[in-house]
């Protein structure tokens, strides 16, 4: 069973187990402050995620950009003092220019990237068009008195922190023009150049991101962890590691013994967590529920600094045993059911026990023909389990009888009336009324598998723990197309999902032809995101770069343009993070093993903005923004974006 990995079995890549690299700090972003110092300018105070637009502190003749050029003096860059001489007239260039990989700039009538005001400062990275060795980066904006000009001999450069803070406070909802020119001073080559724009949104974004990183298929105490950061951080921290969770009394597939790794324990004791994989935040941001290694038990653990890895105080022993049942698949929570007396997790539930109504533990195949469903678990249940007594018969049977006895009280199966297929990858609406999930022909152990002839998004009412009549989500239930990994937006208005245009026998969880779409949660036309597409000049195309696993930011920001500063009508701003395996330089390539998929490219995380025009309902989408603070030496997957209460990331902000 190892070939299904841990988190990978539920949403990422076959064959890598669930391992993470050891490096916590991101690589040098390319430029840093570069010794530039504080350039001055007007730094706005910001609104911290309010519902109104953040009005610029300066509307015209702003002085956020210094009058003199900047010279990148970081390691590996030695631009000459007379660099401007080699470029001649400002903005002039001829011949093909560099391919700007990040952030993606506007091309023709297609917009460039959209940044929240408080996002990680932009880092520019490009591929040379020829023999150029000296580069000029020039930023201009209508409200700025001066251009921002910088020179470097590298192909990466980041806007200095102080300049970015000032610019983001003043130049919003307006294009910022970027011109990157290159020349080879020693060869007297022509000046090449590329020009395009990006935009800063008139809103900030909230929440912290926690994701899974891996470099290995080995199951060891130090090869699996969650990594996290706040939206403006330039580095990351470990958010949860295996040693921090430790021994949780995890049972084997049969429920008779503590679960131990089935070949070599590698220092992970029986009953302990072996893998931290697919995860989701509790609505209060204080803990995560994650999927452990085979047989895919679930674990709830704190991510707060003082109690990291510990059981939350409300989690009863009986609830923990219920979460410990094998074949649970992915979990989901709702703010609408997260209060004392009503703390519930909804999970995939794969019935594997023919002698106990399908519930509980079983390690005696053949298993009955079944379809996976959805179950709720009361995390505060007052029900209790008696200790198994070997003198009274098989301990597995005793445990299963007790589990069956608390159905309807401590946990239960949701009715999926009209569902003819298996359920997987659920997402609980924030208001607690609906669950959207993947309806698939073929699932295994609570997760999506191969050999599907159909996979659609279906919606079922929560119905006070009863479930109800299932309905297809129009726009995301197309015939002969795979739609999966759904996620409700923070206001429950939209659902993001992964889509594969041609469904076949291959597994769905790490498909090269996966793409991210968005559809109204009440059904309608699905919108393909521009963020699926890498820069066209980079010779990569989508489908083909493994776009997958979209997750929304934890708040939607709306603006009502009562000020003449904003001309676009009433708008709601949404933000998404997703994974993609674009073959940019420096990316870790996953090792090929007998369990690995044919595609071993490394996934990284990307962010994108979506604007919903409230008068028409039209969605405006934008290219992806690479998160350059993540470690490019690991494969980074299964992100979550919530109000996590992880410790702060050290370093400059």
126 pLDDT above the threshold of 80: yes
Q: Quick one: which of 42, 273, 285, 236 has its CA closest to 120?
A: 236
Q: What integer is the mean pLDDT of 256-278?
A: 77
Task: Decide if 177 contacts 142 (C-beta within 8 A).
Answer: no
Lowest mean pLDDT among 136-145, 237-246, 368-377, 491-500: 368-377
Task: Decide if 259 contacts 271 (C-beta within 8 A).
Answer: yes
Which residues is 467 bridged to in the sheet?
Answer: 415
Q: What integer is the mean pLDDT of 505-511?
A: 79
Q: How confident is the model at residue 158 (pLDDT cuts 50, 70, 90)?
A: very high
Torsion from C-alpha of 471, 476, 480, 483, nearest 10 degrees: -110
Q: Quick one: which of 642, 627, 428 has its CA closest to 553?
A: 642
Mapped onto helix, strand or coil, the DSSP state of residue 347 is: strand
Q: How confident is the model at residue 510 (pLDDT cuts 50, 70, 90)?
A: confident
Q: How confident is the model at residue 633 (pLDDT cuts 50, 70, 90)?
A: confident
Task: Decide if 51 contacts 557 (C-beta within 8 A).
Answer: yes
63 pLDDT above the threshold of 50: yes
Q: How confident is the model at residue 181 (pLDDT cuts 50, 70, 90)?
A: very high
pLDDT given for residue 591 in this prediction:
58
User: What is the pLDDT of the chain when averaged over all its residues?
Assistant: 85
Pairing of strands 148-152, 70-71: parallel
Q: What integer is the mean pLDDT of 130-143?
A: 95
Alpha helices in 197-331 (DSSP H): 242-245, 317-323
52: Cβ contacts below 8 Å, ≥ 6 apart: 559, 560
Q: How far apart are CA 429 and CA 416, in angstroms?
A: 17
Q: What integer is the mean pLDDT of 521-525?
A: 97
Q: With the C-alpha atoms ordered 205, 51, 428, 322, is the resulting torsion angle positive or negative?
A: positive
369 pLDDT above the threshold of 70: no
pLDDT given for residue 584 in this prediction:
62
- With residues binned 3-state (H G I as helix, E B as strand, rest as coil), the percentages for the chain, rounded to 5, are 10, 30, 60
Q: How far apart are CA 553 and CA 489, in angstroms?
A: 8
51 pLDDT above the threshold of 80: no
User: For every residue of 559-622, which 3-state class applies, written as one string?
Assistant: ECCCCCCCCCCCEEEEEEEEEECCCCCCCCCCCCCCCCCCCCCCCEEEEEEEEEECCCCCEEEC
pLDDT given for residue 404 in this prediction:
92
647 pLDDT above the threshold of 90: yes
**Helix (H), strand (E) at residue 463:** none
Lowest mean pLDDT among 94-103, 110-119, 217-226, 534-543: 217-226
Lowest mean pLDDT among 450-454, 479-483, 611-615: 450-454
pLDDT given for residue 447 in this prediction:
74
Task: Give the tens place of pLDDT for each residue, 190-233.
Answer: 899 999 999 999 999 999 999 998 777 677 777 778 999 999 99
39 pLDDT above the threshold of 80: no
Q: How confident is the model at residue 4 (pLDDT cuts 50, 70, 90)?
A: very low
pLDDT given for residue 70 in this prediction:
97
Half-sphere exposure of 580 (CA within 13 A, CB side): 29
């Amino acid at each position: 069973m190892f070939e299904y990995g841990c988190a990978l079995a539920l949403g990422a890549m076959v064959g890598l187990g669930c391992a993470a690299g050891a490096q916590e700090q991101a690589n040098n972003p390319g430029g840093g402050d570069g010794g530039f110092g504080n350039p001055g300018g007007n730094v706005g105070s910001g609104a911290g995620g309010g519902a109104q637009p953040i009005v610029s502190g300066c509307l015209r003749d702003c002085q956020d950009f210094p009058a003199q050029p900047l010279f990148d003096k970081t390691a590996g860059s030695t631009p000459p003092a007379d660099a401007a001489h080699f470029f001649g007239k400002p903005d002039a260039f001829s011949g093909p220019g560099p391919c700007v990989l990040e952030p993606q700039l506007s091309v023709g009538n297609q917009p460039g990237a959209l940044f929240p005001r408080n996002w990680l400062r932009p880092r520019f990275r490009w591929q040379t068009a020829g023999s150029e060795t000296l580069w000029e980066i020039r930023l201009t904006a209508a409200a700025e008195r001066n251009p921002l000009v910088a020179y470097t001999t590298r192909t990466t450069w980041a806007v200095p922190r102080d300049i970015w803070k000032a610019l983001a406070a003043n130049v919003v909802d307006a294009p910022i023009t970027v011109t990157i020119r290159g020349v080879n001073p020693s060869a007297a080559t022509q000046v090449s150049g590329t020009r395009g724009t990006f935009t800063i949104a008139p809103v900030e974004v909230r929440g912290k991101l926690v994701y899974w990183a891996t470099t290995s298929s080995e199951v060891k105490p130090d090869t699996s962890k969650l990594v996290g950061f706040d939206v403006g951080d330039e580095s990351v921290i470990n958010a949860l590691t295996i040693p921090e969770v430790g021994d949780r009394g995890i049972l084997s597939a049969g429920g008779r013994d503590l679960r131990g790794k089935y070949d070599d324990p590698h220092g992970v004791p029986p009953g302990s967590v072996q893998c931290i994989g697919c995860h989701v935040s509790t609505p209060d941001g204080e803990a995560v529920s994650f999927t452990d290694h085979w047989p895919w038990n679930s674990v709830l653990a704190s991510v707060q600094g003082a109690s990291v890895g510990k059981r939350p105080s409300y989690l009863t022993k009986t609830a923990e045993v219920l979460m410990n049942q094998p074949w649970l698949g992915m979990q989901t929570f709702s703010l609408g059911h997260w209060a004392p007396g009503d703390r519930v997790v909804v999970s995939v539930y794969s019935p594997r026990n023919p002698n106990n109504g399908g519930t509980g533990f079983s390690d005696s195949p053949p298993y009955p023909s079944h379809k996976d469903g959805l179950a709720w678990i009361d995390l505060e249940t007052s029900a209790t389990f008696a200790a198994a007594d070997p003198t009274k018969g098989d301990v597995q049977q005793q445990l299963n009888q007790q589990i069956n006895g608390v159905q309807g009280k401590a946990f239960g199966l949701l009715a999926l009336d009209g569902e003819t297929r298996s359920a997987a990858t659920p997402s609980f609406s924030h208001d607690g009324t609906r669950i959207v999930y993947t309806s698939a022909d073929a699932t295994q152990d609570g997760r999506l598998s191969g050999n599907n002839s159909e996979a659609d998004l279906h919606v079922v009412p929560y119905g006070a723990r009863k479930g109800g009549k299932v309905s297809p989500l129009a726009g995301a239930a197309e015939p002969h197309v795979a739609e999966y990994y759904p996620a409700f937006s923070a206001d429950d208005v939209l659902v993001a999902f992964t889509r594969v245009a041609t469904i076949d026998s291959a597994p769905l969880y790490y498909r090269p032809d996966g793409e991210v779409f968005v559809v109204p949660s009440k059904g309608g036309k699905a919108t393909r995101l521009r963020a699926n597409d890498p820069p066209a000049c980079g010779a990569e195309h989508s489908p083909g770069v493994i776009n997958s696993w979209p997750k929304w930011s934890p708040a939607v920001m709306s603006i009502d343009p009562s000020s003449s500063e904003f001309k676009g009508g009433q708008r709601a701003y949404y933000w998404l993070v997703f994974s993609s395996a674009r073959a940019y330089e420096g990316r870790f390539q996953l090792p090929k093993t007998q369990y690995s998929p044919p595609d071993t490219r490394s996934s990284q995380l990307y962010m994108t903005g979506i604007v919903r025009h409230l008068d028409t309902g039209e969605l405006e989408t934008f290219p992806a923004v690479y998160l350059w603070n993540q470690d490019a030496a690991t494969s980074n997957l299964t992100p979550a974006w919530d109000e996590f209460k992880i410790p702060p990331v050290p370093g400059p902000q």
